[in-house]
Amino acid sequence: MKKLLPLLIILLVMSIIAMIFISMAKDTQPVTVVKNNTEMKALPLKVNFTNDSYCKMLITTKRNSVQVVSPDGKTCFFDDPGCMILWLEDKSFKADVKIWIYTIDTKQWIDAKTAWYGIKDKTEMHYGFGAREQREEGAIDFNEMRLRMLRGESLANPKIRKKLLGA
């Protein structure tokens, strides 16, 4: 029994250390979905700690980032409006969501369906649809941006890129 006591103490200490590391790992996992946003408001975005729900990339800037709040209060995050469009398209609840986008011009969260979108902007996934609160020449509305994205008419398409940028 005396020979087993030190071994049992070592196992106990190792178990405690393992539990501490496991609990720390859970606290440092990137955010992908936030639940219970029943008021459907824009939430504070944890930059460099939140993953895009579609492409899984780490969101490194608020610029053009998007939040989609589903009717059950789940908030999903996106680094680019294009990712949001592609992710949302096959969701049964897409007509009932609240979509927030962080604008280039006013640097605040606004309703994405009222935003104006440039077609040649620098965006995280290079789709080119940068959001603005104020309308600018050449900007398109949400529905047009959505249609172009679904048809593949973004800067990610080499033919469209050449047509719009000449490169």
Beta-carbon contacts of residue 17 (< 8 Å; ≥ 6 apart)? none
More confident site: 159 or 2: 159
Residue of 103, 150, 100, 157 whose CA lies nearest to 126: 157
Strand order in the sheet with 109-111: 33-34, 75-78, 66-69, 98-102, 109-111
Model pLDDT for residues 72-119, shown as the tens digit of each residue: 999 999 999 999 999 999 999 999 999 999 999 999 999 999 999 999
pLDDT at 26: 52
Phi, psi of 82 (to 5 degrees): -60, -40
Q: Is the pLDDT of residue 60 over 60?
A: yes
More confident site: 6 or 48: 48
pLDDT at 22: 64
Residue 148 token pair: 């172009």
Q: What does the alpha-carbon distance between residue 119 and residue 145 come to, in Å, rounded to a whole number?
A: 8
pLDDT at 1: 60
Domain ranges in the chain are 33-165
Residue of 151, 73, 136, 149 whose CA lies nearest to 106: 136
Model pLDDT for residues 32-50, shown as the tens digit of each residue: 899 999 999 999 999 999 9
Q: Is the pLDDT of residue 120 over 80?
A: yes
